[in-house]
Amino acid sequence: MLVYSGVDPVTGKDVYLTESTRDEKKVEEIRTRLLAKVDKQRNAATKATLAYTLEAWLEVHEADESTRDDYRRLIERNIVPAIGDVPISKIGTRVLEQFYAQLRRCRLRCNGKPYIEHREPGPHDCRVVQHRRKPGRPTAKTLAEHDCGQMQCKVIECRAHVCKPLAAGSVRKIHFVISGALAAATRWEWIESNPATDAKKPKQAAPQPKPPTSDEAARIVAASWEQDAGWGMFIWLKMVTGARRGELLALRWHDVHLDQGVLEIRRNFTQRSGKAREKDTKTHQMRRNSLDSDTVDLLREHRARTQEQIERLGLKFDDAGFVFSYEPDHSRPCNPDGISHRYARMCAELGITSHLHTLRHYSATELITSGVDIRTVAGRLGHGGGGTTTLRVYAAWVADSDRAAASILANKMVRPAPQPGPSSEGSEAT
């Protein structure tokens, strides 16, 4: 039996509810049930759209400001333009799965037909040349002799659309946002159940960390110290602690306990769209990382240099100052993106393919392959779940460590002497 249910909000096609039976006596019962379901969709308790529900959810959802900004960016860029006007009573599991599939094919959700992506709405020239000419007032002669290729004039033009799938991780984030909003709508009794609960989302790609080799790490550290001592100290500490970029930038001198050889990681520093923020660590927990004697000595020297530079300017050294800063009084941490760009430039000059986060992978893999247990590694890195995340990300290196452990145990045991085989007489007797 087919019952018309309306128009699909994603595809624009007619939707029918279906149910089959071989018992003629149940036909009327099925028809009544399907019509009731259609009527329930058309006359829901609320007419709230998904866009309205998302906005209401953001008002009550507990998250730090940068996370909320990420959610709002996904909502405005991907969710609202596609299904924001759809009433939440019309959103089902099938609608969500179709939406996710479209995003995985093309982030602009094109229909597969070729078209031109215009850089601006309204009438405009699709191809514009921004001429670069020699300094001075242009004359008819200089304009006539102008060579766009020689002057490297910039050409701006509207180009044909090329489908770019949205990454699986981004679609999973979109699913989390929609699911959270619809869960809130369920609690508020706007809808009876959350359709996102059963919706199939893209699989999470297996992590494939690619840390620098030991030789590359040694070259990176040497190059950083050659640039300047402060930069060298940052790269050294990033390697030996495996801390996140923002966690090291948020360090203040009162977090560094040199007498105890302990580093307290309590905060994270971020800067986006010109907004600088200090917030909790990713797991919202502080941790204490032990430091080796060499690192303690280097930090003592770094502190002494910092104190001398500040006092030379007639300022007073303060333990509340940041450990890594470009400000004369160390009152503000370094820009996170600037740090990442500097590291990328340095590695490019060395001919090494690496980005700053790989030093975190380097620290983890070196510890694991050296036999340090997963829980300890997870604690130093600040992973949640008691080591579950660490094991998932670094499973390949855990296998290497397990093979090394097998060799260690075997080498501690005395191998038995070769046993003689069965004698020839015994063989003949058999």
Residue 42 scores a pLDDT above 60:
no
> What tens digit of pLDDT does each residue of 289-306 get?
999 999 999 999 999 999
Q: Which residue has the higher pLDDT, 429 or 348?
A: 348
Instruction: Concatenate the DSSP letters of all residues of 150-212 into one string.
Output: HHT-EEEE-EE----PPPHHHHHHHHHHHHHHHHHHHHTTSSSS-GGGS---PPPPPP---PP
Six token digits for residue 245: 């970029």
Whether the pLDDT of residue 427 is over 50: the answer is: no
**Max intra-chain CA distance, the chain:** 115
What are the Cα distances from residue 303, in Å, to 244, 251, 252, 265, 269?
21, 13, 11, 17, 20
403 Cβ partners below 8 Å, 6+ apart? none
Q: What are the pLDDT digits (tens) for 51-64?
A: 999 999 999 998 88
- Of residues 136 and 367, more confidence is placed in 367
* Domains recognised in the chain with CATH numbers: 2-42 (no CATH), 50-110+167-197 (1.10.150.130), 116-134+146-160 (no CATH), 214-360 (1.10.443.10)
Q: What share of the chain is helix, strand, coil (3-state, %, to 5)?
A: 50, 10, 40
Tokens at 80, concatenated: 């609202």
pLDDT at 410 over 70: no
Inter-residue contact 363 to 381 (CB < 8 Å): yes
> Contact, 81 vs 140, CB < 8 A?
no
- The region of weakest confidence among 141-155, 195-209, 361-375 is 141-155
- Packed helices 293-312 and 229-241: angle between N→C axes, nearest 10 degrees: 150
Alpha helix ranges (H) inside 11-49: 27-42
Distance CA 18, CA 5 (A): 10
Per-residue pLDDT, 156: 84
342 or 270, which is more confident? Answer: 342
Taking residues 315-331, what's their average pLDDT? 93
Most confident of 21-30, 133-142, 256-265, 410-419: 256-265
Structure tokens at 9: 């909000």
User: pLDDT at position 320, please?
Assistant: 93
The confidence score (pLDDT) of residue 325 equals 94
Question: Which residues make beta-bridge pairs with 171?
Answer: none
Residue 240 has pLDDT above 60, yes or no: yes
| Residues above pLDDT 90, as percent of the chain | 49
For the residues 222-226, what does the mean pLDDT come to?
95
What is the model's pLDDT at position 145?
Answer: 66
Q: Which pLDDT score is estimated for 297?
A: 95
Any idea which residue has 């009550």 for tokens?
Answer: 60
C-beta of residue 374 within 8 angstroms of C-beta of residue 391: yes
Average pLDDT, the chain: 85
Please give the model's pTM, rounded to 2 decimal places.
Answer: 0.70
Q: What digits encode the pLDDT tens for the residues 174-217?
A: 999 999 999 999 998 888 899 999 999 888 877 788 899 989 99
**pLDDT tens digits, 254-292:** 999 999 999 999 999 988 877 888 888 888 888 999 999
The predicted structure's pLDDT at residue 10: 46
> CA-CA distances (angstroms) from residue 399 to 214, 406, 408?
19, 11, 14
> What stretches of 370-414 show up as alpha helix (H) in DSSP?
374-381, 388-393, 395-411
Q: For residue 238, which of 137, 53, 364, 389 has the smallest C-alpha distance?
A: 364
Neighbouring residues of 23: CB distance < 8 A, sequence distance ≥ 6: none
Lowest mean pLDDT among 148-157, 164-173, 233-242, 279-288: 148-157
Kindly tell me if the per-residue pLDDT of 316 is higher than 70: yes
- What mean pLDDT comes out for the span 234-256? 95
With a pLDDT cut of 70, the percent of the chain lying above it is 85
Question: What are the strands, taking DSSP E only, across 20-152?
Answer: 116-117, 127-130
Decide if pLDDT at 143 tops 70: no
